[in-house]
Structure 1
Amino acid sequence: MDRHRLLSATFLSLLALCFISETEPASFKMVNKCRRTVWPGLLSGANSPPLPTTGFELKSGKSRTITIPKSWSGRIWARTLCTHHQNQTFSCVTGDCGSQKLECAGGGAAPPATLAEFTLNGAGGLDFYDVSLVDGYNLPMLVVPKGGRGGGCGATGCLVDLNGACPAELKVAREGRGGSVACKSACEAFGDPRYCCSEAYATPDTCFPSVYSLFFKHVCPRAYSYAYDDKTSTYTCGSADYVIIFCPAPYTR
């Protein structure tokens, strides 16, 4: 009887530990190392719990830490060249989420934008994360897991400022000021199903890297460059906190 009680107590303790582990929130520290202010945006996936914020201002050299529910999935990006207008609306030249407010409130990043994508506490209890250039690029970004257990827990991102080197047909210039502020994906620039991995090219067996996605991949080998770039671009870590750095040193803009 005592042995039965001991086993029951052990089982309940393990169950409680598992429950705590699965529900313990993660810490996301966002750091702005750009020379200018950026405005991070956050978008939750379907059925993900709400976040304490969906968008805010982050001045150069500053950081902000947000508590993220452990079962959360979604994406984070930086909006740039944003303006509070006299009619009380808000807009950004790159990464705008269409809410016309500081908070994105369920709006995603208008491409092109560099995206950090997360699925926390996924298969095997691991977090899955990547930095994606599939929707284009607007600034360098680095994701660094801290204190994780299990999985590779590798840092990933795109450390290089691609705007100057962006192919001419993909460049996005700021209206009236010239110079490239973002770099489109080939899918957005041309709408060709071969570049979008759509229609007859909607499987890994029919959609392959293009000269444009290879440009992104060569400069940023850890980042997603096209829709089926999983093998070299998806990272895993268990029970980690994350640091997300915009314009990581020495690449600033």
Structure 2
Amino acid sequence: MANTHIALLKLTSIFIVITSAPELCGSSKTFTLVNYCKETIWPGVTRSDNHSGDGFTLKAGQSTVYTAPDGWSGRIWARTGCNFDSGGNGKCQTGGCGTSINCTGPGNPPATSADFSLGELDYYDVSLVNGFNLPIVVKAINGTGNCSTVGCDGDLRQNCPSELASKDNDKVIGCRSACDVFNTDEYCCRGTYGNPATCLPSNYSKIFKQVCPAAYSFALDDPTSLITCSKADFVVVFCGSRNQTTCSYHDKQAVCNRSKAYKAIPQSWWILMLPLTYMFSLWIMP
């Protein structure tokens, strides 16, 4: 299922150049990851070709930067409910990618993902093809082309159909895809349903789409969910919303809006700031 989706997408170009150092000469890309969730998450990053990658801890309100080589293609998502020991070994409730904090495989469903493919044109999208574990928004800044903001407007866990719900102690921790639960050609876009003319939205994918209208809700979803942009910086926000102003980019610094529930952690070379009251004085997301 994931392979079908990745074959349709051309993915990658990750996160935002916000260092005060001179601009990189096309040899790498940097991306800013922002945790707007109320709890700690453990982002995972893997390449599309071999699923090897990285992982780290990101506490509530914190942000960090991930650097990828030029031409990188892969995905970024959040693991939740993780328990790692001092050696970095452990497991997660959702999005697990092996038994260590550094990913050794793709994220296990359900997991919302941000997918990227970097090149002369950068392709990116947010995907719920492998289910949903928390909202993700991807914002492109200072690019040319479409460069639309993609992702979610709400939290699907709050109205996940009971037959798709993934629970821990009666708490919904994720929403599985219909393909993952029922494993039929119709829901998985296989066999006679393996093309856009026959693999159509289901009642389940429509529920996904209502919460995340600018994201893939099933494997052969509306191709306009895949965005192209060039020369952009990127911000990936976990537990954000397209309806929020997330981040803007001025003089090689990222400035991100946040609700009072989140506390941004400033770094030595960048600042996440700006009270919510200034939210609409900056640009408004499309």
Shift of 1:47: 7.8
The alignment's C-alpha RMSD in Å is 2.4
Identity value in percent: 45
Contact persistence 2:33–2:64 (CA under 8 A): yes
Shift of 1:228: 1.3
Q: Secondary structure at the match of 1:194?
A: helix
Which one has the largest radius of gyration?
Answer: 1
Shift of 1:219: 2.0
Q: Secondary structure at the match of 1:163?
A: helix
Contact persistence 2:153–2:213 (CA under 8 A): no
- Answering whether residue 134 of structure 2 is matched by residue 139 of structure 1, we say yes
Contact persistence 1:22–1:71 (CA under 8 A): no
Query: Superposed, which structure 2 residues align to 1:204-223 within 5 Å?
Result: 204-223=196-215
Query: Superposed, which structure 2 residues align to 1:61-72 within 5 Å?
Result: 61-72=61-72
Deviations 1:122-178 (A, max 9, x none): xxx2111000001100001110112212x211111113111120001000001xx21
Give structure 2 stretches of 5+ with no counterpart.
1-22, 245-258, 263-286
Structure 1 runs of 4+ with >4 Å offset: 85-88, 249-253
Does the C-alpha gap of structure 1 residues 192 and 67 become closer, same or farther in structure 2, counting only changes over 3 Å? same
Give structure 1 stretches of 5+ with no counterpart.
1-19
Which of 118, 121, 134 does residue 120 from structure 1 map onto?
118
Does the C-alpha gap of structure 1 residues 119 and 84 become closer, same or farther in structure 2, counting only changes over 3 Å? same
Letter in 1 for 2:80: T
TM-score, length-scaled by structure 2: 0.73
Contact persistence 1:141–1:247 (CA under 8 A): yes
Shift of 1:24: 3.8
The match for 1:4 is none
The match for 2:270 is none
Which of 227, 239, 245 does residue 237 from structure 2 map onto?
245
Q: How far apart in 2 are the matches of 1:88 and 1:242? A: 28
Contact persistence 2:125–2:226 (CA under 8 A): yes
The match for 1:148 is 143
TM-score, length-scaled by structure 1: 0.82
Contact persistence 1:131–1:157 (CA under 8 A): yes
Shift of 1:220: 1.4
Does the C-alpha gap of structure 1 residues 197 and 132 become closer, same or farther in structure 2, counting only changes over 3 Å? same
Contact persistence 2:155–2:211 (CA under 8 A): no
Which of 166, 174, 184 does residue 172 from structure 1 map onto?
166
Letter in 2 for 1:152: N
Deviations 1:46-67 (A, max 9, x none): 289x8xx610000111111112
Which of 225, 231, 241 does residue 233 from structure 1 map onto?
225
Does the C-alpha gap of structure 1 residues 79 and 21 become closer, same or farther in structure 2, counting only changes over 3 Å? closer
Name which of structure 1's ranges 82-91 and 190-199 shifts more when overlaid on structure 2. Answer: 82-91
Q: Secondary structure at the match of 2:91?
A: strand
Q: Secondary structure at the match of 1:112?
A: coil
Q: Secondary structure at the match of 2:83?
A: strand
The match for 2:178 is 186
Letter in 2 for 1:102: I
